[in-house]
Amino acid sequence: MDFDELRRRYEAAFEVYRTHTANLIESSKGGRHPTPQELAAEAEALYELTRVRRELLEALARTY
């Protein structure tokens, strides 16, 4: 896989995670507790972001 594709996947995963966290922050400002589904979605987004980041770093390490 090329670096541009990994970078695009990383940026997409970051945006998904950022959206989930922004939604959680916004809802908590109104005093509402997040649902288990919202927390699970945020955790899954963080897992995916971490996984793609690891792939990108491993690819960079093999190159340099």
pLDDT for res 1? 67
Mean pLDDT for 13-40 is 94
In angstroms and rounded to an integer, the radius of gyration of the C-alpha atoms of the chain is 15
What Cα–Cα distance (Å) separates residue 45 from each residue in 19, 52, 60?
A: 9, 11, 23
Q: From CA 61, how far away is CA 48, in angstroms rounded?
A: 20
| Digit-coded pLDDT (tens) for 34-59 | 999 999 999 999 999 999 999 999 99
Which percentage of the chain shows pLDDT scores above 70?
98
Say what the pTM is. 0.87
